[in-house]
Amino acid sequence: MKRQLNRLDPFKWLIIPLCYYVFTVVAARLGMTFYDGNHYPYFFIDSDVLGWGTVMLSVLGLVAAFLAIGYIVFVVDKLLCRWGKKIKRIK
């Protein structure tokens, strides 16, 4: 069994949420509104209300959380690979 994930994959997985964040900031600056009339889809990235410092802390916290989850998935993949090799040897 070959491991499917490498050490950089959790960083690669951050590309989509970070692109979405950039999209929401650009869209808000261009005047786009979401379903409820707000310029931002989530309260924790609303820089008009919270300010850029608080929003950056929120974004960094989310990046850290996503990265931690990504590395948990990476470790589980690594462990499953080891267990799969042991099971193959037993059979």
Dump pLDDT digits (tens) for 4-38: 888 999 999 999 999 999 999 999 999 999 888 89
Q: What is the pLDDT of residues 65-87, one digit of tens each?
A: 999 999 999 999 888 887 766 56
Residue 90: what pLDDT? 59
Per-residue pLDDT at 86: 58
**Cα→Cα distances 6→27, 82, 83, Å:** 34, 15, 17
- The answer to whether residues 87 and 3 touch, using CB atoms and an 8 Å cutoff, is no
Three-state DSSP class for 81?
helix
φ and ψ of 37, to 5 deg? 90, -5
Q: What is the pLDDT of residue 35?
A: 83
